[in-house]
A and B are shown apart, each in its own frame.
Chain A
């Protein structure tokens, strides 16, 4: 369904996305995971035909999106983080217009409209002015405008941001329904959302894909890496310097907690005792040691972005 090779996008001199490549099949939900500024929205905008890439190849359903942007846009539905809505229009009127500008005949829009209203649970607000709707309903109208023309690819940028817990559950159901008819790309920095709805996750960091696979694939990738948190009395910079000098330490993140220093250390090999010994030998008061497993997706994500960053520095 989607083939991306060497996608690069600059904003001025700033490379927002660098040499990104991936392929995505049909009828799957794929999540783009990353911190703010990681390049998720830029990748989605390029796939949606909103931005042109600075370099690289983008094919949607076998068609080069650069050579035939108008025809590829007909097959794509796009919803940015803030739903683009003409607030003075009524819901049904707005959706009819959206269908028509995407090349649907008026009669086809009329046939499709009840189905879309049902999927997005908008039937009872069809004649309401968009301005009067709550944030959750506006988001649903945003999704409805993205799917009204029966697209093969639906791109949803942060679809659950700003929704309450009930609305999040409802949105998950909508995404699952969409998956039966098209490929869905979702971006989010809410990791639990990605893990619950997506078949595959692409992790972006500083414009690059640092990891990809299912949730279990990503966890497996970090399994075997030891992580220990040392609580130490001493100077923050000195603690970091001492731990970083120990052989087998992959990364060390230090933060100050009251008058204590907390060092989150990830090991390439088991050097837990050596690190503790180094801290004691350097004269720091070692108050506690906690083993930190990378079982939670948040941990996996942090580990992957650090790993990706380290790989990139090494390559550079």
Chain B
């Protein structure tokens, strides 16, 4: 019963945040909507006993990623209104129809039993078997998944190096000076 109440409240918050992201004219409002969605999803993780994943969600997503988004929004300015005209005729309506068709196809596939191997209609198999404590997650992570773990470490290093390379891009000095003289 508790799970039902939490699911309804947080599911509503998730969807409300998502709608804010795609509707808000101002990117800052979109970022705040995204924050709401991220927190609501974190609560849904806690209800499903994925404690460590929920903590990482709040720290990495709501903490680091969203702060980065807000920094960039402030950096490149929020005063410009987005062009709301439609380049492709009926773009919005077509996109909405496409989304509904995708959900419909998924519903038909589930209804026809294509995903019968996932016991989605029954309750959780054994709630305690998937209690995602730090200890329970660390054990497979550093044994079965250690290769993937090292690969993500490499990925993060490469991403950091690439970002520094992108961010420190400067025009050659002589160029800027010539431009200033030209003015």
Q: Please determine whether chains A and B interact with each other in the same assembly.
A: no
